Copies of this chain bind each other. A is one copy, B any other.
Amino acid sequence: MSKQDAYHSQVRKALENDGWTVTHDPFTIRLEDVKFYVDLAAEKTIKTGEETRKVAIEIKVFGGLSFLNEFEKALGQYLIYKQFLDDLFPERILFLAIADDVFEESFSLPSIKAVVSRQAMKLLIFNPEREEIIKWIE
């Protein structure tokens, strides 16, 4: 199984282990001229009677030779998905899911932190082996 496929299944299980219901795998954004596929969508009612929280999740491995190259691509993809989600499904919050080791090694770089902050990227940090959500960063 590719690392991309492994992470897909591990993030899905991590969400389910945390009480989320995966509602779309993938979540399709249909525009007049193009379709985008966000890896997963899930929902969870935090407390009985309260509003249901809906998320869309794009999973990134960052396993290639150049972290920066992959980060540029991930940022562009995140902002495009976010723009059309905001237009069409404004209640659904977009997260970029990344493994805890990638978060600690690469997302701690000052330049990357500055971009994540300026672009208001929301992150879901997970542990692949334990299939566990570590934290949501918004």
The chain B residue sitting closest to A81, CB to CB, is B72
Tell me if B33 and A110 are in contact (CB < 8 A): yes
Segment 63-85 of A: residues with Cβ below 8 Å from B: 68-69, 71-77, 79-80, 83-84
Given known contacts A76-B76, A119-B79, is B33 in contact with A111 (CB within 8 Å)?
Answer: yes
Min distance, Cβ A72 to any Cβ of chain B, angstroms:
4
Q: How large is the interface on A (under 10, 10 to 19, 20 to 34, 35 or more residues)?
A: 20 to 34
Give Cα A69 to B68, complex, Å. Answer: 16
- Say yes or no: is A118 at the interface (Cβ < 8 Å to chain B): yes
Collect the chain B residues with CB atoms within 8 Å of residue A79's CB. Answer: 75-76, 79, 115, 119
**Per-residue contact bits, chain A 10-36, to B (CB 8 Å; 1 contact, 0 not):** 000000000000000000000111100
Pick from B75, B109, B118: contact of A34, CB under 8 Å: B109
Collect the chain B residues with CB atoms within 8 Å of residue A34's CB. Answer: 68, 109, 111
Collect the chain B residues with CB atoms within 8 Å of residue A31's CB. Answer: 110-111
Min distance, Cβ A107 to any Cβ of chain B, angstroms:
12
Give Cα A115 to B36, complex, Å. Answer: 13
- Say yes or no: is A6 at the interface (Cβ < 8 Å to chain B): no
- Say yes or no: is A134 at the interface (Cβ < 8 Å to chain B): no
Give Cα A109 to B33, complex, Å. Answer: 7
